[in-house]
A = this chain, B = another copy of it.
Amino acid sequence: MFNKVLIANRGEIAVRIIRACRELGLETVAVFSEADRNALHVRYADEAYLLGPAPSRESYLRADKILDIAKKSGANAIHPGYGFLAEREDFAAKCADLGITFIGPKPSSIAAMGDKGKARATVIKANVPVVPGTEAVGNMTDDDLLNIAPSIGFPLLIKATAGGGGKGMREVKSLEEMPTLLQSARREAESSFGDGNVYLEKLVEGARHIEFQIMADSQGNVIHLGERECSIQRRHQKLLEEAPSPFLDDELREKMGSVAVKSAQAVDYVNAGTIEFLVDKDRNFYFLEMNTRLQVEHPITEMVTGVDIVAEQIRIARGRQLSYTQEQIHFKGHAIECRVNAEDPFNGFMPSTGRITHSILPTGPGVRVDTGVYPGFEITPYYDPMIAKLIVWGETRAQAILRMRRALEEYRIVGVRTNIPFHQTLMDSHRFMGGQFDTRFVEERFSMDGSTEIKNSNAEIAAILATLVAHKQTERSAQIVRRNERDTSNWKWVGRWERMHR
């Protein structure tokens, strides 16, 4: 049984995993790029080793170096977190070869679900409903895809087979625009995953994106921990998740949960995983894909079930049985997660980089913040812009929204722009409060302007604030000019000396 875990990741998730290890009494090994020498995961781990330069390809994606460090440090397990090497079959297989426990599923399960095309084929065999789309598997050429597209019908989606997080995804409205979009999707997929393969899927309109957390042990027990509502997205990037979904009732939850379990069983799944579904207006649901790893938004499930998913992952990897049966999983209250990104919501969500000079975290009852940044830390352009996850729990959805609202109001981050104002505007949106949204909501029916009434009532205050700051600045620069005058007086005097004595 392992006792030292290497965390092959960075940022908040590396910190999250270190916490779980420490609470289980396991030693931790961090790896880091040159940009991350002072990152929190390096500071919190028992050991830390440099991987290489900042770009991921030269650091966090260097499987060879990571395995060398595992050997050198004596780490006998690796937790991959999400992203980077988390869904790389070859990496999981190499760990096994070296006698290192990969804290995740078997390589074969990663392979079966990692290629999204293959995954569809696999679950179709297990009678799991899927979104209509390409069913052939493998390297389809542009010609193949252009031929098949009309039979699927428009609008449709081009998706990266190795994909995730909306990267390499394009929406296609007509056959005419498809060649260009295929090209750009492949380009993005190649640059994100080193694999330019894509497949097609019918675009389900008015759909919700709802996923189920499953946990499976090596004794063959598989349970689900309920769903997460992930429809609040922008450019296929999740921005906010909640559990439970306001759209599901107990009956549908049970039905989808058992399909999720069946999907996991279809690939002999072990450890934590997530089955993503699309749910249409009429409550038909379709398997989208399986994420064979820990999910960014796992904390909301932890908040409503009381299960520590990362600790449970580690226990499973140590060969233990699941700590819970399906009957022992109870849902209590409502949890919401806001992803705090270094992006300017008033400027097209443009990424923002720079040094965090000041920060105040919201705290208090029912609030959890998972973050890897702190005052003094530099946000670089090399990695994902997500700098924190703000998670709240409330007895009801309404209470959770009120709590999230006050937590967002309390949160201060200075030095980079963040999307906190986006989340604040969202919390004030009547459609969001009413649970009336689908995956297009943010892009199509949401505006950062919010209520003009509220805006007008604060305009005078904004005017006063700007005026006072501008006034302060004018006064200060006047003082600097005066001080400089004094400072240079000696030089003037030297000049006079020169002239006098020339």
The distance from the CB of A303 to the nearest CB of chain B, in whole angstroms, is: 9
The distance from the CB of A364 to the nearest CB of chain B, in whole angstroms, is: 5
Bound-state CA distance A366–B498 (Å) is 73
Determine the chain B residues whose CB is within 8 A of the CB of A40 once the complex forms.
360
Bound-state CA distance A361–B360 (Å) is 9
Determine the chain B residues whose CB is within 8 A of the CB of A260 once the complex forms.
none
Q: Does A423 sit at the interface, judged by CB under 8 A?
A: no
Q: Is the CB of A23 within 8 A of B402?
A: yes
Rank and list the top 8 A-B pairs by shortest CB-CB distance, nearest first: A501-B501, A22-B406, A363-B369, A19-B364, A23-B402, A360-B374, A23-B403, A494-B494
The distance from the CB of A83 to the nearest CB of chain B, in whole angstroms, is: 19
Instruction: List residues of A (289-341) whose CB comes within 8 Å of B's CBs.
Output: 299, 302, 306, 308, 332
Q: Is the CB of B368 within 8 A of A364?
A: yes
Bound-state CA distance A89–B338 (Å) is 44
| Identical chains in the assembly | 2
Q: Does A431 sit at the interface, judged by CB under 8 A?
A: no
Q: Is the CB of B367 within 8 A of A368?
A: yes
Given contacts A361-B361, A494-B494, 19 further A-B contacts (CB under 8 A): A15-B364, A16-B364, A16-B365, A22-B402, A22-B409, A23-B394, A23-B406, A302-B365, A358-B375, A358-B376, A360-B375, A361-B363, A363-B369, A363-B370, A363-B371, A364-B368, A367-B368, A497-B498, A501-B501
Bound-state CA distance A406–B299 (Å) is 19
Determine the chain B residues whose CB is within 8 A of the CB of A498 once the complex forms.
497
Q: Is the CB of A23 within 8 A of B399?
A: yes
Bound-state CA distance A365–B301 (Å) is 11
Instruction: List residues of A (15-32) whose CB comes within 8 Å of B's CBs.
Output: 15-16, 19-20, 22-25
A501 interface neighbour in B20, B367, B370, B497, Cβ under 8 Å? B497
A402 interface neighbour in B25, B359, B367, B409, Cβ under 8 Å? B25
The distance from the CB of A298 to the nearest CB of chain B, in whole angstroms, is: 10
Contact digits for A343-381, partner B, Cβ 8 Å, 1 yes 0 no: 000000000000000111101111111110011100000
Q: Does A410 sit at the interface, judged by CB under 8 A?
A: yes
Bound-state CA distance A218–B332 (Å) is 29
